[in-house]
Amino acid sequence: MDTVRIPTVSRYTSKSNPGLSSPTALRRRSMASAVPTEKTGGSGIGSVRSQPTGDSFIRLHLRKLSAYQPILPFEVLSTRLGRKPEEIIKLDANENPYGPPPEVAEALGTLKFPYVYPDPESRRLRAALAADSGLESDYILAGCGADELIDLIMRCVLDPGDKILDCPPTFTMYEFDAAVNGALVIKVPRLSNFALDVPRIVDVIEQERPKCIFLTSPNNPDGSIINDEDLLNILQQPILVVLDEAYIEFSGMRSRMEWVKNHENLIVLRTFSKRAGLAGLRVGYGAFPLSIIEYLWRAKQPYNVSVAAEVSACAALQNPGYLESVKNSLVQERERLYNLLKEVPYLKPYQSYSNFILCEVKSGKDAKKLKEDLAQMGVMIRHYNSKELKGYVRISVGKPEHTDALMKCLNLL
Ligand SMILES: Cc1ncc(COP(=O)(O)O)c(C=O)c1O
């Protein structure tokens, strides 16, 4: 999943959270009090009792939280664009257009016990992941997507008012979940080539003592990777490092899952959404030091990985040849797409180690309008308007025919 989210709590940027902004919402907000109250007027006879509004029950920091704008579901998009879902070329959410191997549909079609709750420990899946990754299953915990694990980690680690360190532009869920968990976000923006500003990160850790840092390799949205030296340097600091490897398969690099055995302050997150085309089934997993995983087991929802999700992920791992060939096709297509985008006079694409390519929109063209014009032609891409990424678009790598259709449209604009 990848959604457009409105920025939330941010400590080092002056942009404050606008919160709810419609006139009705603002009125409701000013009426709401921190604690539900019952007002009585006069001496009792003919007294006026006013019921508290519903939002007054909501925790204060959540009342200030901006809503996020999810990507539109296929069916809604299809109605809006007046096109059948299969006619829409969806290059806006880094999904894997090849989908999972055939074993997944077979396994889902023959589910024996859908009426029984799933295994709270996802034992079958964790054993398969241990075989797949080379890391023992004791270090592995599965979740309802990597998204669930990001939130679970924050719930276990952060007290209200604690700080996290975020390095934008990056995956916006870190910032969003921090806000939901009542934490403050300290931002150390990436350098102009999207590399981490490691000296600044080290300084900020020393001065501000954030509890954890979220690092993404390859990074969404630019596709850059973190080298061993930078990662080791950050791991030496007194901070919990959450390394998000949602796209690691497309990078040609080895996962750092096994590093959790030697670094008590490292967590590595991965997902089936990209590598196995299972974004809709919601399966993610993480590698954790034993001293941390124990607490996540205690705090997680018991049935966080559904029977369908576990069965699908296990079935996908049974066909590593398929996963490898799909990955190779996407990596090959990424290079072709990059070379073609370089030829578009108003785009500057960035080399990527992932299944998407970030492009700066130049020559006076408006990035938002480009996205909208492409959408009218049935091609969905992602547009950015954040402080760090004004005038950029991100294009997911699809099948060769998707690239062809995209290029045809880009050449018309
Ligand atoms: C960097 C990153 N991490 C995690 C996720 C979420 O993964 P999942 O689908 O497993 O929740 C995404 C989804 O786009 C992502 O870009």
394-411 as b/e, with b when 16 or more CB fall inside 10 Å?
bbbbbeeebbebbbebbe
Q: For 199-209, what is each residue's pLDDT tens digit?
A: 999 999 999 99
Per-residue model confidence (pLDDT) at position 315:
98
CA of 79 to the centre of ligand 1 (A): 27
Residue 271, ligand 1, Cβ within 6 A: yes
Residue 151, ligand 1, Cβ within 6 A: no
Q: Which atom of ligand 1 is nearest to the CA of 283?
A: 10
Q: For 8-67, what is each residue's pLDDT tens digit?
A: 333 333 333 333 344 334 334 433 334 444 444 444 555 667 888 988 999 999 998 887
Share of the chain above pLDDT 90, in %: 78
Residue 396, ligand 1, Cβ within 6 A: no
CA of 305 to the centre of ligand 1 (A): 16
Interior angle at CA 400, CA 357 and CA 80, nearest 5: 75
Per-residue model confidence (pLDDT) at position 204:
98
Distance of CA 45 to the CA centre of its chain: 56
Mutational test site, ligand 1, from 244, 282, 312, 355, max ligand atoms within 8 Å of CB: 244
Per-residue model confidence (pLDDT) at position 47:
60
CA of 146 to the centre of ligand 1 (A): 6
Q: How many helices (H) and strands (E) does the chain have?
A: 15, 15
Atom 2 (ligand 1) nearest CA? 246
- The total of other beta-carbon atoms located within 10 Å of residue 4's CB is 15
Q: For 100-140, what is each residue's pLDDT tens digit?
A: 999 999 999 999 999 999 999 999 999 999 999 999 999 99
Q: How far apart are the first and last CA of the chain?
A: 28
Q: For 149-158, what is each residue's pLDDT tens digit?
A: 999 999 999 9
- The total of other beta-carbon atoms located within 10 Å of residue 200's CB is 13
User: Exposed, middle or buried by CB within 10 Å (0-12, 13-18, 19+), for 313?
Assistant: buried
Element (H, E) at 229: helix 228-235
Give the residue-averaged pLDDT of 335-358: 98
Give the residue-averaged pLDDT of 175-197: 96
Pairing relationship of beta strands 382-385 and 390-396 according to DSSP bridges: antiparallel
Q: For 228-253, what is each residue's pLDDT tens digit?
A: 999 999 999 999 999 999 999 999 99
